Chains A and B, each alone.
Chain A
Amino acid sequence: MVEIQVHEDGCRGCRMCVDICPTTVFEYDEEKRICVVRHQEDCIACLSCAYLCPSGALAHANFHTVKNFYRDLAFCEKMERFL
């Protein structure tokens, strides 16, 4: 099953992940004013939420990585060398 981690300190409570998720995985916690993962089992690893999250506070693990054909390969090689 796909695992989703929310970096709680990083979450700004914008609810964009709640809005964009096609399978309603997230919910907004009114008390803490951050998003929470409510239905992790429904995640289809489309990663829409991770791309949209302004803080980069969402991380996914245990999913099948699909190669993007349109990636900038020259930069991808450098990415690991960024401190």
Chain B
Amino acid sequence: MSSIPVNIEWLSDCSGCHVAIVDLHEKILTVLQAVNIQRCPVLTDIKGYPKAKLGLVSGAIRSEHDRHAAEEMRKSCDLIVAWGTCAVYGGIAGAGNVHSCEEIFDTVYRNNKTTCSTQCPSSEVSPLEPSVSPLDSVIPVDLYLPGCPPHPAVVFDALLGLVEGRPPRAATKESVCARCKRQMEKSEVDRIRKNSEGVPDPEQCFLSQGYLCMGSVTLDRCLSPCPLNGIPCSGCAGATMQILTEPNRDIRTEIAERMSRLTLIPKEQIVREIERTSKTHYSYTMATPMIGEKPTFLIRKWTEEEREDYEQDHND
């Protein structure tokens, strides 16, 4: 088997997806025998974009540099994989879409209480795009590998499949709940609890206990480590296929539908609570048109209402 040239690029993200490759442990030897990593900002010192068969692109399009790098990757690679949640849905950088670029500059540079500079950088830093968008808004993408980061088992299967020329295992429709071992049972709980409140029962489903867990609306690309270790799912691998395909289904309504059947909490109250904390619950997916352009997705209105409530409470 001759080695396959691979380019890896890193746009606006945290580098966790690159670390997921290292998490392959000894399996990485199998992959390294088969591929020849050319451009890879964390590993090699290749500045250009050599021709490659496979291109892995992680990160969202936040700055003009991101757009340029994405376009260069498309030109140099035969097959482009949107790798990780940021590339697939925009990821947490997508929270930038709740605010204008001016508001972001004000908070980060001009009125930042912890720095002495009040100037916005005008050189050496790439200008921002007007909004954050996922990779496929800029270049055509051949395959999508969501996850924050995708579990090494999924990365390995995808890489090996591509190297061997066989189609990798396509996404299953199962959610994070499918691997969580907590018992989902009906309870008498009548109010939503904050994640910081009390100690959750390790055997019982978070929804049954009144905690907002996103497991039932999130693709299983992680093997469910968070709920298995006492932490409610934060939805990092993005929404399930039924939410992405159908405009009338949404993260908040799907969670509310299930939670209201398990507890005594009314559905409307759950929807309202998720809207109130929408920056948290939509943090990984709000930049993708599949979520952000749903007609009922009004995150600016929700966050504004929440801010007004907060100010009112704290002025009294």
Residues of A within 8 A of B (CB): 7, 9-10, 12-16, 19, 33, 51-52, 54-57, 59, 68, 70-72, 74-76, 78-83
Q: Give 11 A-B contacts (CB < 8 Å), ordered by A residue.
A: A7-B178, A14-B262, A33-B183, A52-B257, A54-B215, A68-B246, A74-B290, A78-B144, A81-B142, A81-B143, A83-B158
Contacts of A71 in B (CB 8 A): 245-247
| Interface membership of chain B positions 68-81, coded 1 if the CB is closer than 8 angstroms to chain A and 0 otherwise | 00000000000001
B: which residues have CB within 8 A of A?
81, 136, 141-146, 150, 154, 157-158, 168-175, 177-180, 182-186, 205, 207, 215-216, 240-242, 244-249, 257-258, 261-262, 289-290
A11-B144 Cα distance, complex, nearest whole Å: 27
Given A12-B183, A13-B184, A56-B173, A79:B241 Cβ within 8 A: yes
Cβ of B174: which chain A residues have Cβ within 8 Å of it?
7, 10, 55-57
Interchain CB contact under 8 A, B258 and A75:
no
Q: How far is the CA of A25 from the CA of B179 in the complex (A)?
A: 24
B177 touches A10 (CB 8 A): yes
Given contacts A9-B178, A78-B144, A83-B144, are A72 and B244 in contact (CB under 8 A)?
yes
The listed residue with most A CB atoms (<10 A of its CB), out of B142, B168, B240, B247, is B247
CB closest chain-B residue, reference A68? B246
A70 CA to B258 CA, complexed, in Å = 22
| Assembly CA distance A82 to B177 (angstroms) | 19
B258 touches A14 (CB 8 A): yes
Once the chains are docked, how many angstroms separate the CA of A75 from the CA of B88? Answer: 12
Cross-chain contact of B183 among A13, A16, A51, A70 (Cβ < 8 A): A13
- Min CB–CB distance A29 → chain B (angstroms): 13
**Chain A minimum-CB-distance residue to B217:** A54
| Distance of B95 from chain A, by nearest CB (Å) | 21
Task: Enumerate chain B residues within 8 angstroms of A79, measured Cβ to Cβ.
Answer: 171, 241, 244-245
Chain A contacts for B171, CB-based, 8 A: 79, 82-83
The 5 closest A-B pairs by CB, nearest first: A54-B216, A10-B178, A14-B184, A12-B184, A82-B171
Query: B136 — which chain A residues lie within 8 A by C-beta?
Result: 78
Look across to chain A and name the residue whose beta carbon is closest to the beta carbon of B173. A56
**A11 and chain B: residue at smallest CB distance:** B178
Tell me the complex Cα distance, A57–B179, Å: 10
Closest Cβ–Cβ distance, residue A83 to chain B (whole Å):
5
